[in-house]
Amino acid sequence: MKVEPRLHFHMPLQRTPFHARTSAANVLNQWGNWSGYTTALVFEDEAMEYSAIRNAASLYDLCPMVKYRFTGPDAAACLDRLTLRAASRLSVGGVHYTAWCDDAGKFLDDGTLFRLGPEDFRLCCQERHLPWLIDSALGFDVRVREETEEVAALSLQGPCSAVVLQAAGFDVSALKPFRMMSLPFGDGTLLISRTGFTGDLGYELWTTPDQALRLWDHLTVAGRPWGIRPVGSSALNLARIEAGFVITNMDFIAAHQAVREDRTRSPIEMALDWMIDWDKGHFNGRRALLAEREGKTSRWAFVGLDVPGNVPATGAVIYAGKTKEAGFVTAAEWLPTAKRNVALAHIERKYLKSDLWADIYALRELQYARLMLPVTVTERPFFNPARKRATPPGRF
Using CB under 8 A as the criterion, which residues of the chain lie in contact with other proteins when the complex forms?
77, 81-82, 102-103, 132, 135-136, 138-140, 281-282, 284-287
Min separation Cβ 83 and other proteins, Å: 11
CB of 74 to other proteins, least distance (A): 9
CB of 77 to other proteins, least distance (A): 6
Contact status, residue 188 vs residue 210, Cβ threshold 8 Å? yes
Nearest approach, Cβ of residue 292 and other proteins (Å): 14
Query: Do the Cβ atoms of 302 and 269 come closer than 8 Å?
Result: yes
Closest C-alpha among 331, 371, 383, 375 to residue 352: 375
Type of residue numbered 355? D
Question: Cβ(80)–Cβ(93) under 8 Å?
Answer: no
| Residue (57 or 78) nearer to other proteins, CB | 78
Smaller CB separation from other proteins, 262 or 365: 262
CA distance 198 to 119: 29
Q: Which of 148, 197, 195 is nearest to 172 (CA)?
A: 195
d(CA 134, CA 70): 10
Taking the alpha carbons at both ends of the chain, their separation in whole angstroms is 36
* 317, 327, 356, 378 from 324: Cα distances, Å: 10, 9, 10, 21
CA distance 344 to 337: 17
Nearest distance from C-beta of residue 103 to other proteins, angstroms: 4
> How near is the Cβ of 213 to other proteins at its closest, in Å?
39
CB 305 within 8 A of CB 356: yes
Minimum distance from residue 260 beta carbon to other proteins (Å): 15
Comparing CB distances to other proteins, the nearer of 12 and 295 is 295
Q: In this complex, which beta carbon is closest to other proteins, that of residue 34 or of residue 140?
A: 140
> Could you tell me the smallest distance in angstroms from the CB atom of residue 139 to other proteins?
3
User: Which lies closer to other proteins via its Cβ, residue 146 or residue 149?
Assistant: 146
CB of 124 to other proteins, least distance (A): 20
State the minimum distance, in angstroms, from the CB of residue 272 to other proteins: 19
Distance CA(264)–CA(339), nearest Å, equals 32
CA distance 255 to 258: 5
> Whose Cβ is closer to other proteins: residue 248's or residue 330's?
248
Q: Which is nearer to other proteins, 80 or 242 (CB)?
A: 80
Q: Starting at the edge strand that comes first in sequence, how are the strands of the sheet with 58-61 ordered?
A: 180-185, 188-193, 202-207, 152-157, 58-61, 229-230
Cα distances (angstroms) measured from residue 278 to each of 31, 270, 349: 42, 17, 23
Closer residue to other proteins, CB minimum distance, 79 or 151: 79
Cβ atoms of 345 and 352 closer than 8 Å:
no
Nearer to other proteins (CB atom), residue 6 or residue 260: 260
| Pairing label, strands 95-101, 30-34 | unpaired
Backbone angles phi, psi at 160, to 5 degrees: -90, 5
Nearest distance from residue 62's CB to other proteins, in Å?
27
Residue 377 near residue 304, CB atoms below 8 Å: yes
Task: Give the chain's radius of gyration (CA, Å).
Answer: 21
Query: Smaller CB distance to other proteins: residue 76 or 215?
Result: 76
Task: Give 134 or 373: the residue with its C-beta nearer to other proteins.
Answer: 134
| Helix or strand run (H / E) with residue 362 | strand 356-364
